[in-house]
């Protein structure tokens, strides 16, 4: 059994997503520099291709997404790497 003092706390998603359709702004509200930040759209809708980005604390990325009834027909996945090299995925609903 692990001692409670050695247990790690859950990792909080370091982003805030501002929704102003068709523009979605992803803000790094965490304290870490994040590598390889990308967006992927699943379902119906259109989004331009994006290249992996480096996102410092306080910096933001924008993506424009259009489509019919996105809340029912699509999700976005944000992918990033922490400084440790561990990959994370965050599923975002519209």
When pLDDT is averaged across residues 66-88 and rounded to a whole number, the result is 96
5: confidence class by pLDDT, cuts 50, 70, 90: low
When comparing pLDDT for 56 and 2, which is higher?
56
Query: What is the percent of the chain with per-residue pLDDT over 70, rounded to a whole number?
Result: 93
In angstroms, rounded to a whole number, what is the distance separating the alpha carbons of residues 89 and 94?
A: 16
**Sheet of 23-28, strands arranged across:** 15-20, 23-28, 60-66, 46-47
Mention every residue, 6+ apart, whose C-beta is less than 8 A from residue 17.
Answer: 24, 25, 26, 27, 92
Q: Which two tokens stand for residue 13?
A: 């998603």
Mean of the pLDDT values across residues 29-46?
96
| pLDDT reading at 11 higher than 60 | yes
- State the chain's mean pLDDT as an integer: 93
Give pTM, 2 decimals.
Answer: 0.87
Q: How would residue 9 be classed by pLDDT, with cut points 50, 70 and 90?
A: confident
Please give the class, per CATH, of domain 12-93: mainly beta
Residue 92 makes CB contacts below 8 A (sequence gap 6+) with 17, 75, 76, 77, 78
């Amino acid at each position: 059994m692990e001692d409670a003092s050695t247990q790690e706390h859950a990792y909080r998603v370091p982003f805030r997503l501002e929704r102003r359709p068709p523009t979605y702004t992803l803000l790094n509200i965490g304290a870490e520099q994040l590598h390889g930040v990308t967006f992927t759209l699943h379902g119906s809708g259109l989004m331009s291709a994006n290249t992996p980005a480096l996102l410092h604390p306080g910096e933001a990325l924008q993506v424009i997404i259009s489509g019919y009834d996105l809340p029912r027909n699509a999700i976005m996945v944000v992918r990033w790497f922490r400084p440790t090299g561990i990959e994370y995925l965050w599923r975002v609903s519209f």
